Amino acid sequence: MNEIIKTNQKIKKILRKDISKFVYIKKEKFHVDESIAF
């Protein structure tokens, strides 16, 4: 049981990192689009 919980926490941490990277990339693209627009 504990092993499953541990692996779930690891997966969640990895997912959170991926999501934050994805959001960061989206923000960067948005900034680039803004600078092109103005």
Q: For residue 4, is it within any domain?
A: no
Q: Give 1-38 pLDDT, tens digit per residue.
A: 789 889 999 999 998 988 888 787 777 777 666 666 65
pLDDT at 23 (0 to 100): 80
Identity at 16, one-letter amino acid code: R
Domain range for 26 is: 12-38
Q: For residue 38, is it within any domain?
A: yes
Q: Strands (DSSP E) along the chain, which ranges?
A: none
- The number of folded domains in the chain is 1
Q: For residue 2, is it within any domain?
A: no
Whole-angstrom distance, CA of residue 13 vs CA of residue 27:
21
pLDDT at 32 (0 to 100): 66
Q: For residue 17, is it within any domain?
A: yes
Q: For residue 7, is it within any domain?
A: no
Q: For residue 23, is it within any domain?
A: yes
Q: For residue 35, is it within any domain?
A: yes
Q: For residue 5, is it within any domain?
A: no
